[in-house]
């Protein structure tokens, strides 16, 4: 993740305004090298990226904290990877998602529900509480779900899990939109989630 990455041009807004800012598309005008998941990566000219621009009230420390949580989640295949962050201009540059899950499917496919359950277990294993179980935070990249928006994430404390907090809130969010997610709901209520997690991992 490169700090101080400069974005000079912003394209169309992606989605609606969020709680802490807006997301725009940008295209790479000149090839550059970034550190992604601790590896140098050449980002080619023309690559489409997303830029999350925060409200002026968000502090530099909170921006870095969000970027770090997202990059940790990206390292375990749960989130879009972060290309760079600029704390003075208040934005994060990241991998661009293709679509919101709620805009693509009238009902959430079973495979995606299992995958989301598996993601909760991956985050638990890394002691990351996503903490924002909004169905609009489930995006797709190459037809695979990813979780975005780590602005409210925190270190997972003993006795708390994403299954009980993030996934529970996400089930309610989907249902509020009239979308049935019976597998995710059963996972929240299960005393043993291992079958849901292993099935989700088998799809990845």
Instruction: Using the predicted structure, report yes or no on whether residue 1 has a pLDDT greater than 70.
Output: no
To 10 degrees, the CA torsion angle through 42, 43, 46, 51?
-170
User: Using CA atoms, how far apart are residues 94 and 175, in angstroms rounded to an integer?
Assistant: 29
pLDDT at 17: 83
Domain 99-202 listed as CATH 1.10.510.10:
yes
Confidence of residue 42 (pLDDT cuts 50, 70, 90): confident
- Which residues neighbour 58 within 8 Å (Cβ) at sequence distance 6 or greater? 20, 21, 90
Q: What is the mean pLDDT of residues 107-111?
A: 95
The residue among 120, 118, 142, 143 whose CA lies nearest residue 131 is 120
User: Using CA atoms, how far apart are residues 78 and 86, in angstroms rounded to an integer?
Assistant: 23
Confidence of residue 22 (pLDDT cuts 50, 70, 90): very high
Task: Give residue-wise pLDDT tens across range 48-101.
Answer: 999 999 999 999 999 999 999 999 999 999 999 999 899 999 999 999 999 999
- Domain 2-95 superfamily per CATH: Phosphorylase Kinase; domain 1 (3.30.200.20)
* Portions of the chain given CATH number 1.10.510.10: 99-202
**Mean of all residue pLDDT scores within the chain:** 91
pLDDT at 6: 59
Task: Give residue-wise pLDDT tens across range 170-204.
Answer: 999 999 999 999 999 999 999 999 999 999 999 99
Residue 152 · residue 132 · CB < 8 Å: yes
First-to-last alpha carbon distance for the chain, in angstroms, is 25
User: Using CA atoms, how far apart are residues 188 and 204, in angstroms rounded to an integer?
Assistant: 21
Instruction: Using the predicted structure, report yes or no on whether residue 129 has a pLDDT greater than 60.
Output: yes
* Portions of the chain given CATH number 3.30.200.20: 2-95
pLDDT at 5: 58
């Amino acid at each position: 993740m490169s700090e101080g990455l400069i974005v000079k041009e912003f394209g169309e807004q992606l989605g609606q305004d969020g709680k802490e800012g807006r997301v725009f598309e940008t295209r790479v005008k000149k090839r550059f090298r970034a550190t992604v998941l601790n590896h140098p990566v050449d980002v080619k000219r023309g690559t489409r990226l997303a830029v999350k621009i925060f409200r002026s009230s968000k502090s530099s420390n909170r921006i870095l904290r969000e970027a770090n949580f997202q990059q940790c989640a990206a390292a375990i295949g749960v989130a879009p990877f972060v290309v760079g962050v600029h704390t003075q201009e208040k934005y994060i540059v990241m991998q661009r998602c293709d679509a919101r899950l709620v805009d693509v499917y009238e009902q959430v496919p079973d495979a995606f529900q299992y995958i989301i359950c598996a993601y909760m277990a991956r985050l638990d294993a890394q002691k990351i509480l996503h903490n924002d179980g909004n169905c609009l935070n489930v995006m797709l990249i190459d037809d695979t779900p990813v979780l975005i928006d780590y602005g409210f994430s925190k270190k997972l404390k003993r006795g708390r899990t994403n299954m009980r907090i993030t996934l529970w809130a996400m089930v309610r969010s989907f249902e509020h939109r009239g979308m049935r997610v019976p597998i995710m709901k059963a996972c929240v209520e299960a005393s043993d989630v291992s079958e849901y997690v292993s099935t989700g991992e088998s799809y990845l």
